[in-house]
Amino acid sequence: KSLKEGKAEELAALPLDERLKRRIIDGEKNGLDDDLAEALTTRKALDIVNDTLLDGMKVVGELFGSGQMQLPFVLQSAEVMKAAVAYLEPHMERAEGEEGKGTIVLATVRGDVHDIGKNLVDIILSNNGYNVVNLGIKQPVSAILDAAAEHKADVIGMSGLLVKSTVIMKENLEELNQRKLAADYPVILGGAALTRAYVEQDLHELYEGEVRYARDAFEGLRLMDALIAVKRGVPGATLPPLKQRRVPLREPKFEEPAGVGRSDVAVGNPVPAPPFWGTRVVKGIPHKEYTSWLDEAALFKGQWGLKGDTIEAEGRPRLRMWLDRLRTENLLEAAVVHGYFPCVSKGDDLIILDENGHERTRFTFPRQPRGRRLCLADFFRAEDSGETDVVGLQIVTVGSKIGEATAELFASGSYRDYLELHGLSVQLAEALAEYWHARVRAGLGIADREPEGLDGMLRTEYQGCRYSLGYPACPDLEDRAKIADLLRPERIGVHLSEEFQLHPEQSTDAIVVHHPEASYFNAGRAGGGR
Protein backbone atom coordinates (compact mmCIF):
# COMPACT_ATOMS: atom_id res chain seq x y z
CA LYS A 1 0.00 0.00 0.00
CA SER A 2 1.45 3.42 -0.94
CA LEU A 3 2.19 6.11 1.62
CA LYS A 4 -0.48 8.29 -0.01
CA GLU A 5 -3.17 5.60 0.32
CA GLY A 6 -2.14 5.00 3.93
CA LYS A 7 -2.46 8.72 4.66
CA ALA A 8 -5.90 8.90 2.99
CA GLU A 9 -7.13 5.95 5.10
CA GLU A 10 -5.72 7.49 8.27
CA LEU A 11 -7.59 10.75 7.51
CA ALA A 12 -10.82 8.92 6.62
CA ALA A 13 -10.82 7.20 10.03
CA LEU A 14 -10.91 10.54 11.91
CA PRO A 15 -14.11 12.35 12.95
CA LEU A 16 -14.98 15.08 10.42
CA ASP A 17 -13.85 18.02 12.57
CA GLU A 18 -10.53 16.40 13.42
CA ARG A 19 -10.10 15.44 9.76
CA LEU A 20 -10.52 19.04 8.56
CA LYS A 21 -8.07 20.28 11.17
CA ARG A 22 -5.56 17.57 10.14
CA ARG A 23 -5.93 18.56 6.47
CA ILE A 24 -4.76 22.07 7.37
CA ILE A 25 -1.85 20.79 9.51
CA ASP A 26 -0.74 18.22 6.90
CA GLY A 27 -1.33 20.51 3.90
CA GLU A 28 -3.56 17.83 2.34
CA LYS A 29 -5.99 19.14 -0.33
CA ASN A 30 -7.24 15.82 -1.75
CA GLY A 31 -10.83 15.27 -0.60
CA LEU A 32 -11.06 18.71 1.04
CA ASP A 33 -14.16 19.87 -0.86
CA ASP A 34 -16.13 16.71 0.05
CA ASP A 35 -15.30 17.16 3.75
CA LEU A 36 -16.34 20.83 3.65
CA ALA A 37 -19.60 19.99 1.88
CA GLU A 38 -20.36 17.45 4.60
CA ALA A 39 -19.47 19.94 7.37
CA LEU A 40 -21.83 22.53 5.84
CA THR A 41 -24.81 20.21 6.34
CA THR A 42 -24.57 20.71 10.14
CA ARG A 43 -22.65 23.96 10.71
CA LYS A 44 -22.36 27.53 9.49
CA ALA A 45 -19.48 28.30 7.13
CA LEU A 46 -18.07 30.98 9.46
CA ASP A 47 -18.08 28.56 12.40
CA ILE A 48 -16.16 25.97 10.38
CA VAL A 49 -13.51 28.61 9.62
CA ASN A 50 -13.28 30.08 13.12
CA ASP A 51 -13.59 26.93 15.22
CA THR A 52 -11.89 24.24 13.13
CA LEU A 53 -9.73 25.56 10.30
CA LEU A 54 -8.14 28.43 12.26
CA ASP A 55 -7.43 25.92 15.03
CA GLY A 56 -5.43 23.93 12.50
CA MET A 57 -3.47 27.05 11.45
CA LYS A 58 -2.74 27.78 15.13
CA VAL A 59 -1.14 24.32 15.47
CA VAL A 60 0.89 25.00 12.30
CA GLY A 61 2.22 28.22 13.89
CA GLU A 62 3.14 26.37 17.08
CA LEU A 63 4.91 23.60 15.13
CA PHE A 64 6.87 26.17 13.10
CA GLY A 65 7.78 28.12 16.25
CA SER A 66 9.14 25.01 17.97
CA GLY A 67 11.16 24.00 14.89
CA GLN A 68 9.02 20.91 14.16
CA MET A 69 7.68 22.26 10.85
CA GLN A 70 9.70 23.86 8.06
CA LEU A 71 8.61 26.85 5.98
CA PRO A 72 7.59 25.09 2.70
CA PHE A 73 5.17 22.87 4.67
CA VAL A 74 3.76 25.89 6.52
CA LEU A 75 3.00 27.42 3.13
CA GLN A 76 1.40 24.18 1.96
CA SER A 77 -0.92 24.40 5.00
CA ALA A 78 -1.74 28.00 4.09
CA GLU A 79 -2.62 26.88 0.55
CA VAL A 80 -5.15 24.37 1.93
CA MET A 81 -6.53 27.03 4.28
CA LYS A 82 -6.98 29.47 1.39
CA ALA A 83 -8.68 26.79 -0.74
CA ALA A 84 -11.02 25.90 2.15
CA VAL A 85 -11.99 29.54 2.77
CA ALA A 86 -12.56 30.06 -0.98
CA TYR A 87 -14.92 27.03 -0.98
CA LEU A 88 -16.80 28.28 2.09
CA GLU A 89 -16.97 31.98 1.14
CA PRO A 90 -20.20 31.80 -0.92
CA HIS A 91 -21.90 30.23 2.14
CA MET A 92 -20.89 32.94 4.59
CA GLU A 93 -23.32 35.62 5.65
CA ARG A 94 -21.73 38.44 7.60
CA ALA A 95 -24.09 40.09 10.05
CA GLU A 96 -24.47 43.87 9.69
CA GLY A 97 -21.72 45.74 11.50
CA GLU A 98 -19.96 42.51 12.52
CA GLU A 99 -16.26 43.11 12.96
CA GLY A 100 -13.84 40.74 11.28
CA LYS A 101 -10.68 39.70 13.08
CA GLY A 102 -8.93 42.92 12.04
CA THR A 103 -7.35 44.68 9.06
CA ILE A 104 -3.68 45.40 8.30
CA VAL A 105 -2.25 47.47 5.43
CA LEU A 106 1.10 45.96 4.33
CA ALA A 107 3.70 47.62 2.11
CA THR A 108 7.35 47.50 1.11
CA VAL A 109 8.57 51.06 1.67
CA ARG A 110 9.56 53.66 -0.94
CA GLY A 111 12.69 52.79 -2.90
CA ASP A 112 12.69 49.07 -2.01
CA VAL A 113 11.75 46.32 -4.45
CA HIS A 114 11.98 43.32 -2.10
CA ASP A 115 8.64 41.69 -1.37
CA ILE A 116 9.17 38.04 -0.36
CA GLY A 117 9.17 38.80 3.41
CA LYS A 118 6.09 41.01 3.19
CA ASN A 119 4.26 38.45 1.05
CA LEU A 120 4.96 35.69 3.59
CA VAL A 121 3.40 37.93 6.27
CA ASP A 122 0.38 38.40 3.96
CA ILE A 123 0.03 34.62 3.53
CA ILE A 124 0.24 33.86 7.27
CA LEU A 125 -2.04 36.70 8.44
CA SER A 126 -4.70 36.29 5.73
CA ASN A 127 -4.87 32.55 6.36
CA ASN A 128 -5.25 33.16 10.08
CA GLY A 129 -8.43 35.15 9.57
CA TYR A 130 -7.12 38.70 9.13
CA ASN A 131 -8.03 41.05 6.30
CA VAL A 132 -4.73 41.98 4.57
CA VAL A 133 -4.43 44.91 2.16
CA ASN A 134 -1.11 44.23 0.40
CA LEU A 135 -0.01 47.36 -1.48
CA GLY A 136 3.15 45.85 -3.03
CA ILE A 137 6.63 47.36 -3.38
CA LYS A 138 8.06 50.91 -3.48
CA GLN A 139 5.15 52.50 -1.59
CA PRO A 140 5.38 56.14 -0.48
CA VAL A 141 3.98 56.94 2.95
CA SER A 142 1.06 58.88 1.42
CA ALA A 143 -0.16 55.73 -0.40
CA ILE A 144 0.15 53.68 2.80
CA LEU A 145 -1.88 56.23 4.80
CA ASP A 146 -4.53 56.62 2.07
CA ALA A 147 -5.03 52.84 2.03
CA ALA A 148 -5.14 52.72 5.85
CA ALA A 149 -7.92 55.34 5.88
CA GLU A 150 -9.85 53.75 3.01
CA HIS A 151 -9.81 50.23 4.49
CA LYS A 152 -10.23 51.40 8.11
CA ALA A 153 -7.00 49.58 9.01
CA ASP A 154 -6.30 48.55 12.59
CA VAL A 155 -2.54 48.21 12.02
CA ILE A 156 0.09 49.29 9.46
CA GLY A 157 2.90 46.90 8.49
CA MET A 158 6.04 48.16 6.70
CA SER A 159 8.80 46.03 5.23
CA GLY A 160 12.15 46.56 3.53
CA LEU A 161 15.48 44.85 2.94
CA LEU A 162 17.86 47.75 2.31
CA VAL A 163 19.73 49.74 4.95
CA LYS A 164 18.20 52.86 3.36
CA SER A 165 14.72 51.40 4.03
CA THR A 166 15.32 51.60 7.78
CA VAL A 167 15.79 55.37 7.39
CA ILE A 168 12.61 55.62 5.29
CA MET A 169 10.63 53.71 7.95
CA LYS A 170 11.83 56.28 10.51
CA GLU A 171 10.72 59.14 8.22
CA ASN A 172 7.33 57.43 7.72
CA LEU A 173 6.80 57.23 11.51
CA GLU A 174 7.71 60.92 11.82
CA GLU A 175 5.08 61.67 9.14
CA LEU A 176 2.45 59.74 11.15
CA ASN A 177 3.41 61.79 14.23
CA GLN A 178 3.10 65.02 12.26
CA ARG A 179 -0.32 64.10 10.90
CA LYS A 180 -1.47 63.21 14.45
CA LEU A 181 -2.23 59.64 13.33
CA ALA A 182 0.12 57.77 15.69
CA ALA A 183 -2.65 57.00 18.18
CA ASP A 184 -4.79 55.49 15.38
CA TYR A 185 -2.21 53.18 13.86
CA PRO A 186 0.03 50.75 15.72
CA VAL A 187 2.91 49.83 13.35
CA ILE A 188 4.70 46.51 12.78
CA LEU A 189 8.10 46.72 11.05
CA GLY A 190 10.15 43.93 9.49
CA GLY A 191 13.07 43.40 7.14
CA ALA A 192 16.64 42.15 6.93
CA ALA A 193 18.41 45.42 7.77
CA LEU A 194 16.31 46.13 10.90
CA THR A 195 17.27 45.10 14.40
CA ARG A 196 14.95 44.63 17.35
CA ALA A 197 16.93 47.22 19.34
CA TYR A 198 16.59 49.87 16.60
CA VAL A 199 12.81 49.38 16.38
CA GLU A 200 11.93 48.79 20.02
CA GLN A 201 14.31 51.38 21.49
CA ASP A 202 15.14 54.15 19.00
CA LEU A 203 11.95 54.12 16.91
CA HIS A 204 9.76 53.41 19.95
CA GLU A 205 11.08 56.58 21.61
CA LEU A 206 10.41 58.55 18.43
CA TYR A 207 6.92 57.23 17.56
CA GLU A 208 3.96 58.57 19.53
CA GLY A 209 2.00 55.34 18.97
CA GLU A 210 2.90 51.65 19.31
CA VAL A 211 5.71 50.29 17.09
CA ARG A 212 7.00 46.72 17.16
CA TYR A 213 9.54 44.55 15.35
CA ALA A 214 8.56 41.24 13.71
CA ARG A 215 11.48 38.89 13.01
CA ASP A 216 9.30 36.68 10.81
CA ALA A 217 5.69 36.20 9.67
CA PHE A 218 4.71 34.27 12.80
CA GLU A 219 5.96 36.96 15.13
CA GLY A 220 3.91 39.31 12.94
CA LEU A 221 0.86 37.12 13.63
CA ARG A 222 1.47 37.10 17.41
CA LEU A 223 1.84 40.89 17.39
CA MET A 224 -1.31 41.32 15.30
CA ASP A 225 -3.25 39.13 17.75
CA ALA A 226 -1.98 41.19 20.71
CA LEU A 227 -2.47 44.61 19.07
CA ILE A 228 -6.06 43.82 18.05
CA ALA A 229 -6.90 42.40 21.50
CA VAL A 230 -5.55 45.56 23.19
CA LYS A 231 -7.29 47.83 20.66
CA ARG A 232 -10.64 46.07 21.24
CA GLY A 233 -10.27 46.18 25.00
CA VAL A 234 -10.15 42.40 25.56
CA PRO A 235 -9.78 41.92 29.35
CA GLY A 236 -6.22 41.05 30.34
CA ALA A 237 -4.82 41.72 26.83
CA THR A 238 -1.25 43.08 26.84
CA LEU A 239 1.55 43.55 24.35
CA PRO A 240 4.80 41.58 24.62
CA PRO A 241 7.46 43.49 26.60
CA LEU A 242 9.85 45.76 24.72
CA LYS A 243 13.55 45.11 24.47
CA GLN A 244 15.15 46.99 27.36
CA ARG A 245 17.70 49.67 26.54
CA ARG A 246 21.13 48.78 27.83
CA VAL A 247 23.48 51.53 28.95
CA PRO A 248 25.79 51.97 25.97
CA LEU A 249 29.40 51.02 26.65
CA ARG A 250 31.94 53.76 26.19
CA GLU A 251 33.60 53.30 22.82
CA PRO A 252 37.36 52.71 23.24
CA LYS A 253 39.26 55.52 21.57
CA PHE A 254 41.58 54.50 18.73
CA GLU A 255 44.46 56.76 17.90
CA GLU A 256 44.49 57.36 14.16
CA PRO A 257 47.94 56.51 12.80
CA ALA A 258 49.79 59.48 11.37
CA GLY A 259 49.23 59.77 7.63
CA VAL A 260 46.23 58.25 5.92
CA GLY A 261 48.06 56.75 2.93
CA ARG A 262 47.62 53.40 1.20
CA SER A 263 47.53 50.14 3.07
CA ASP A 264 50.34 47.58 2.86
CA VAL A 265 48.89 45.93 -0.28
CA ALA A 266 51.69 44.82 -2.64
CA VAL A 267 52.24 46.96 -5.73
CA GLY A 268 54.52 44.68 -7.75
CA ASN A 269 51.94 42.12 -8.96
CA PRO A 270 51.75 41.81 -12.77
CA VAL A 271 48.88 43.66 -14.50
CA PRO A 272 47.06 41.15 -16.75
CA ALA A 273 46.19 41.95 -20.36
CA PRO A 274 42.42 41.80 -20.94
CA PRO A 275 41.02 39.88 -23.95
CA PHE A 276 39.50 43.17 -25.21
CA TRP A 277 38.84 46.75 -24.04
CA GLY A 278 35.30 48.11 -23.71
CA THR A 279 32.09 46.09 -23.38
CA ARG A 280 30.45 42.96 -24.82
CA VAL A 281 26.90 41.65 -24.60
CA VAL A 282 26.22 37.91 -24.35
CA LYS A 283 22.64 36.57 -24.55
CA GLY A 284 21.01 33.16 -24.52
CA ILE A 285 23.52 31.48 -22.21
CA PRO A 286 22.47 27.79 -21.94
CA HIS A 287 21.22 27.05 -18.42
CA LYS A 288 23.35 23.94 -17.98
CA GLU A 289 26.44 26.17 -18.13
CA TYR A 290 25.52 28.11 -14.99
CA THR A 291 23.05 25.89 -13.07
CA SER A 292 26.06 23.76 -12.08
CA TRP A 293 27.28 26.84 -10.15
CA LEU A 294 24.14 26.88 -7.97
CA ASP A 295 24.91 27.18 -4.24
CA GLU A 296 22.58 24.44 -3.01
CA ALA A 297 23.16 25.11 0.70
CA ALA A 298 22.13 28.75 0.26
CA LEU A 299 19.07 27.63 -1.72
CA PHE A 300 17.83 24.81 0.53
CA LYS A 301 18.61 26.37 3.92
CA GLY A 302 18.59 30.11 3.27
CA GLN A 303 15.88 30.55 0.65
CA TRP A 304 13.63 27.52 1.16
CA GLY A 305 14.02 27.18 4.94
CA LEU A 306 14.74 23.42 4.85
CA LYS A 307 17.01 21.59 7.26
CA GLY A 308 18.29 18.12 8.10
CA ASP A 309 16.97 15.07 6.23
CA THR A 310 14.28 17.14 4.51
CA ILE A 311 16.96 18.57 2.18
CA GLU A 312 17.54 15.12 0.63
CA ALA A 313 13.93 13.91 0.87
CA GLU A 314 12.21 17.10 -0.36
CA GLY A 315 14.78 19.69 -1.44
CA ARG A 316 16.65 17.81 -4.16
CA PRO A 317 13.61 16.28 -5.90
CA ARG A 318 11.88 19.71 -5.85
CA LEU A 319 15.01 21.37 -7.28
CA ARG A 320 15.12 18.81 -10.13
CA MET A 321 11.41 19.41 -10.78
CA TRP A 322 11.94 23.19 -10.92
CA LEU A 323 14.98 23.04 -13.21
CA ASP A 324 12.98 20.82 -15.59
CA ARG A 325 10.06 23.27 -15.50
CA LEU A 326 12.30 26.26 -16.13
CA ARG A 327 13.66 24.48 -19.21
CA THR A 328 10.33 23.28 -20.61
CA GLU A 329 8.52 26.57 -19.92
CA ASN A 330 11.49 28.60 -21.17
CA LEU A 331 11.51 30.88 -18.13
CA LEU A 332 15.24 31.64 -18.08
CA GLU A 333 16.67 34.39 -20.29
CA ALA A 334 20.25 34.53 -19.03
CA ALA A 335 22.23 37.46 -20.35
CA VAL A 336 25.42 39.29 -19.43
CA VAL A 337 27.00 42.61 -20.25
CA HIS A 338 30.63 42.84 -19.16
CA GLY A 339 33.76 44.79 -19.95
CA TYR A 340 37.38 45.62 -19.19
CA PHE A 341 38.46 49.19 -18.55
CA PRO A 342 41.84 50.89 -18.12
CA CYS A 343 42.19 52.46 -14.68
CA VAL A 344 44.50 53.90 -12.02
CA SER A 345 44.04 54.72 -8.35
CA LYS A 346 44.58 57.88 -6.33
CA GLY A 347 44.08 57.77 -2.57
CA ASP A 348 40.64 56.20 -1.98
CA ASP A 349 39.58 56.68 -5.61
CA LEU A 350 39.55 54.27 -8.54
CA ILE A 351 39.73 56.33 -11.74
CA ILE A 352 38.38 54.76 -14.95
CA LEU A 353 40.19 56.06 -18.04
CA ASP A 354 39.14 56.46 -21.66
CA GLU A 355 41.22 55.24 -24.63
CA ASN A 356 43.33 58.44 -24.50
CA GLY A 357 44.18 58.00 -20.83
CA HIS A 358 41.83 60.78 -19.65
CA GLU A 359 39.52 60.36 -16.67
CA ARG A 360 36.12 58.98 -17.65
CA THR A 361 34.59 58.47 -14.19
CA ARG A 362 35.76 57.72 -10.66
CA PHE A 363 34.63 55.57 -7.74
CA THR A 364 35.42 56.58 -4.15
CA PHE A 365 35.62 53.62 -1.74
CA PRO A 366 35.68 53.65 2.07
CA ARG A 367 38.95 52.85 3.87
CA GLN A 368 39.21 50.75 7.02
CA PRO A 369 39.71 53.15 9.95
CA ARG A 370 42.23 50.80 11.59
CA GLY A 371 44.05 47.50 11.12
CA ARG A 372 45.46 47.17 7.60
CA ARG A 373 43.45 50.24 6.54
CA LEU A 374 42.36 48.49 3.35
CA CYS A 375 40.45 50.23 0.56
CA LEU A 376 39.43 48.74 -2.82
CA ALA A 377 41.42 51.43 -4.61
CA ASP A 378 44.68 50.02 -3.11
CA PHE A 379 44.39 46.91 -5.29
CA PHE A 380 45.08 48.98 -8.43
CA ARG A 381 48.24 50.73 -9.66
CA ALA A 382 48.62 54.27 -8.36
CA GLU A 383 48.27 57.16 -10.79
CA ASP A 384 51.88 58.23 -10.15
CA SER A 385 53.29 54.73 -10.80
CA GLY A 386 53.46 55.36 -14.54
CA GLU A 387 51.50 52.13 -15.21
CA THR A 388 47.85 51.63 -16.19
CA ASP A 389 45.82 48.88 -14.53
CA VAL A 390 42.66 47.02 -15.60
CA VAL A 391 39.30 46.48 -13.87
CA GLY A 392 36.49 44.11 -14.87
CA LEU A 393 32.81 45.06 -14.57
CA GLN A 394 29.78 42.81 -15.10
CA ILE A 395 25.99 42.86 -14.84
CA VAL A 396 24.12 39.56 -15.20
CA THR A 397 20.41 38.74 -15.25
CA VAL A 398 18.23 35.66 -15.58
CA GLY A 399 15.55 37.87 -17.16
CA SER A 400 12.10 39.06 -16.18
CA LYS A 401 10.00 35.99 -17.14
CA ILE A 402 10.93 34.06 -13.98
CA GLY A 403 9.86 37.02 -11.79
CA GLU A 404 6.54 37.26 -13.63
CA ALA A 405 5.95 33.52 -13.13
CA THR A 406 6.73 33.94 -9.40
CA ALA A 407 4.21 36.79 -9.06
CA GLU A 408 1.54 34.65 -10.77
CA LEU A 409 2.14 31.81 -8.28
CA PHE A 410 1.65 34.19 -5.35
CA ALA A 411 -1.51 35.66 -6.87
CA SER A 412 -2.98 32.20 -7.47
CA GLY A 413 -2.36 31.03 -3.90
CA SER A 414 0.39 28.50 -4.81
CA TYR A 415 2.42 29.59 -1.81
CA ARG A 416 4.99 26.81 -1.56
CA ASP A 417 5.75 27.06 -5.28
CA TYR A 418 6.01 30.84 -4.89
CA LEU A 419 8.61 30.57 -2.10
CA GLU A 420 10.62 27.97 -3.99
CA LEU A 421 10.64 29.65 -7.39
CA HIS A 422 11.47 33.05 -5.88
CA GLY A 423 14.38 31.58 -3.88
CA LEU A 424 15.63 29.63 -6.88
CA SER A 425 15.49 32.69 -9.16
CA VAL A 426 17.64 34.71 -6.73
CA GLN A 427 20.20 31.89 -6.42
CA LEU A 428 20.27 31.32 -10.20
CA ALA A 429 21.19 34.98 -10.72
CA GLU A 430 24.00 34.41 -8.19
CA ALA A 431 25.05 31.19 -10.00
CA LEU A 432 25.16 33.06 -13.32
CA ALA A 433 27.30 35.77 -11.69
CA GLU A 434 29.71 33.12 -10.34
CA TYR A 435 29.89 31.37 -13.72
CA TRP A 436 30.57 34.61 -15.59
CA HIS A 437 33.07 35.73 -12.97
CA ALA A 438 35.04 32.52 -13.69
CA ARG A 439 34.94 33.42 -17.41
CA VAL A 440 36.31 36.88 -16.58
CA ARG A 441 39.18 35.36 -14.53
CA ALA A 442 39.99 33.08 -17.44
CA GLY A 443 39.87 36.06 -19.83
CA LEU A 444 42.39 37.91 -17.63
CA GLY A 445 44.65 34.84 -17.55
CA ILE A 446 44.49 34.51 -13.73
CA ALA A 447 42.54 31.26 -13.59
CA ASP A 448 45.51 28.87 -13.29
CA ARG A 449 45.06 28.44 -9.51
CA GLU A 450 41.32 27.68 -9.48
CA PRO A 451 40.05 25.27 -6.77
CA GLU A 452 38.76 21.84 -7.75
CA GLY A 453 35.11 21.91 -6.67
CA LEU A 454 32.26 24.38 -6.31
CA ASP A 455 32.80 24.53 -2.51
CA GLY A 456 36.25 26.05 -2.99
CA MET A 457 34.80 28.52 -5.50
CA LEU A 458 32.13 29.61 -3.03
CA ARG A 459 34.87 30.09 -0.41
CA THR A 460 36.69 32.33 -2.96
CA GLU A 461 39.85 30.21 -3.05
CA TYR A 462 40.96 31.85 -6.30
CA GLN A 463 42.60 35.02 -7.58
CA GLY A 464 40.29 37.79 -8.77
CA CYS A 465 37.64 38.78 -6.21
CA ARG A 466 34.10 39.86 -7.21
CA TYR A 467 32.57 42.73 -5.23
CA SER A 468 28.85 43.47 -5.49
CA LEU A 469 27.66 46.98 -4.75
CA GLY A 470 26.00 47.44 -1.37
CA TYR A 471 28.54 45.21 0.38
CA PRO A 472 30.94 46.64 2.98
CA ALA A 473 33.95 47.28 0.71
CA CYS A 474 31.78 49.19 -1.81
CA PRO A 475 28.59 50.18 0.05
CA ASP A 476 27.52 53.14 -2.07
CA LEU A 477 24.57 52.02 -4.21
CA GLU A 478 24.73 55.29 -6.15
CA ASP A 479 27.89 53.92 -7.80
CA ARG A 480 25.53 51.63 -9.72
CA ALA A 481 24.74 54.59 -11.97
CA LYS A 482 28.45 54.79 -12.93
CA ILE A 483 28.59 51.06 -13.71
CA ALA A 484 25.36 51.33 -15.71
CA ASP A 485 26.84 54.27 -17.63
CA LEU A 486 29.92 52.21 -18.52
CA LEU A 487 28.11 48.93 -19.33
CA ARG A 488 24.71 50.16 -20.69
CA PRO A 489 22.78 47.16 -19.25
CA GLU A 490 19.49 48.19 -20.93
CA ARG A 491 20.94 46.16 -23.85
CA ILE A 492 20.15 43.03 -21.81
CA GLY A 493 16.85 44.37 -20.42
CA VAL A 494 18.26 45.51 -17.06
CA HIS A 495 17.35 48.99 -15.84
CA LEU A 496 18.33 51.06 -12.84
CA SER A 497 15.53 52.56 -10.75
CA GLU A 498 15.82 56.05 -9.30
CA GLU A 499 16.74 54.38 -5.99
CA PHE A 500 19.63 52.51 -7.68
CA GLN A 501 17.96 49.11 -7.64
CA LEU A 502 18.47 46.72 -10.56
CA HIS A 503 15.31 45.59 -12.38
CA PRO A 504 14.49 42.76 -12.83
CA GLU A 505 15.31 41.84 -9.23
CA GLN A 506 17.07 38.65 -10.41
CA SER A 507 20.10 40.63 -11.60
CA THR A 508 23.46 41.41 -9.97
CA ASP A 509 26.35 43.73 -10.70
CA ALA A 510 30.01 43.41 -9.76
CA ILE A 511 33.48 44.88 -9.86
CA VAL A 512 36.13 42.22 -10.54
CA VAL A 513 39.54 42.95 -9.01
CA HIS A 514 42.47 40.87 -10.33
CA HIS A 515 44.98 41.62 -7.52
CA PRO A 516 46.08 38.39 -5.76
CA GLU A 517 45.57 39.96 -2.30
CA ALA A 518 42.01 41.15 -3.00
CA SER A 519 39.56 39.47 -0.61
CA TYR A 520 36.39 40.41 1.25
CA PHE A 521 36.85 42.91 4.03
CA ASN A 522 34.67 45.21 6.07
CA ALA A 523 35.43 48.89 5.66
CA GLY A 524 33.57 49.78 8.85
CA ARG A 525 30.31 50.93 7.24
CA ALA A 526 27.18 48.81 6.98
CA GLY A 527 26.26 47.79 3.45
CA GLY A 528 22.86 47.35 1.86
CA GLY A 529 21.27 44.54 -0.13
CA ARG A 530 22.46 43.06 -3.38
Mean pLDDT by 10 residues, the chain (530 residues): 72 93 95 96 93 94 93 96 94 68 96 91 95 95 98 97 92 97 97 93 95 94 95 91 66 51 89 97 95 95 94 96 96 97 97 95 94 94 95 97 96 96 97 95 85 65 86 91 97 92 94 92 51
Task: Please report the pLDDT score of residue 167 as a whole number.
Answer: 94
- H/E element, 282: strand 278-283
Cα-trace Rg, the chain: 27
The pLDDT, as a whole number, for residue 105 is 98
User: What is the per-residue pLDDT for 426?
Assistant: 95
Q: Where are the alpha helices (DSSP H) in 13-103?
A: 16-26, 32-40, 45-47, 54-65, 71-88
Strand partners, 132: 104
Residue 459: CB atoms within 10 A of its CB come to 9
Residues in Cβ contact with 169 at an 8 Å cutoff, skipping those fewer than 6 apart: 109, 158, 160, 189, 194, 203
Query: pLDDT at position 100, please?
Result: 80
Task: Report pLDDT for 528.
Answer: 34
List the alpha helices (DSSP H) in 151-271: 163-178, 196-197, 204-206, 217-231
pLDDT score of 254 = 47
Give the number of other CB atoms < 10 A from CB of residue 177: 14
- Look up residue 504 and give its DSSP letter: S
pLDDT, residue 21, reads 96
DSSP secondary structure code for residue 271 in this structure: P
SS3 259: coil
Is pTM beyond 0.85? Reply is: yes
Q: State the pLDDT at residue 527.
A: 34
- Residue 197 DSSP symbol: H
* pLDDT score of 209: 96
Contact yes or no for 446/464 (Cβ under 8 A): yes
**Cβ proximity of 143 and 135 under 8 Å:** yes
Give helix then strand counts, H and E, for the chain: 20, 14
The pLDDT of residue 456 is 63
Residue type, 464: G
Q: Name the E strands within 347-399.
A: 349-353, 359-364, 389-397
| pLDDT for 452 | 66
104 DSSP β-pair partners:
132, 155
Would you say 342 and 389 are in contact if contact means Cβ atoms under 8 Å apart? yes
